[in-house]
């Protein structure tokens, strides 16, 4: 191998490695992988897809998301409106203060307030205190 062809090989290898590390692709020798992903399809598979709107409010720039959790699952009100049963994840809300109410017929409803800033992701979790049993 001449020094010119070695230099060309190194250059191609360096460019390939930059492509792999920057683009998240795969570098392999030989034919296509089992999945059939060649250079054309590898780029399209790693390209980010547009996110679909999450449940809750319409997508707006001044919004955040909430994970609303409880054990056992309970119906939930957000600012007085029913939004479903826990667990609720990535529930989109407008920025500002919101009241999250857990409907619990056995122990009484509980309301928690949360303040959401643009881009926030917060968790609202209802933890029930442990039951105390008397020893006999």
* 49 or 52, which is more confident: 52
Domain with 70, as residue range(s), is 63-126
Query: Does residue 134 sit within a domain?
Result: no
Clarify whether residues 78 and 39 are in a common domain. no
pLDDT at residue 62, rounded to an integer:
86
* Domain CATH for 74: 2.60.40.1120
Is pTM beyond 0.75 here?
Answer: no
3-state secondary structure the chain: CCHHHHHHHHHHHHHHHHHHHHHCCCCCCCCCCCCCCCHHHHHHHHCCCCCCCCCECCCCCCEEEEEEEECCCCEEEECCEEEEECCEEEEEEECEEEEEEEECCCCCCEEEEEEECCCCEEEEEECCCCCCCCCC
pLDDT for 116 beyond 80: yes
pLDDT at residue 9, rounded to an integer:
54
């Amino acid at each position: 191998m001449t020094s010119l062809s070695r230099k060309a090989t190194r250059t191609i290898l360096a460019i390939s490695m930059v492509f792999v590390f920057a683009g998240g692709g795969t570098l392999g020798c030989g034919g296509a992988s089992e999945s059939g992903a060649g250079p054309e399809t590898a780029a399209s598979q790693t390209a980010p897809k547009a996110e679909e709107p999450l449940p809750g409010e319409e997508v707006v720039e001044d919004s955040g998301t909430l994970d609303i959790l409880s054990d056992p699952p309970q119906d939930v009100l957000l600012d007085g409106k029913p939004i479903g049963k826990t667990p609720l994840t990535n529930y989109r809300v407008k920025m500002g203060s919101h009241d999250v109410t857990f409907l619990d017929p056995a122990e009484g409803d509980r309301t928690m307030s949360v303040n959401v800033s643009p881009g926030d992701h917060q968790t609202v979790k209802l933890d029930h205190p442990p039951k105390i049993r008397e020893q006999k």
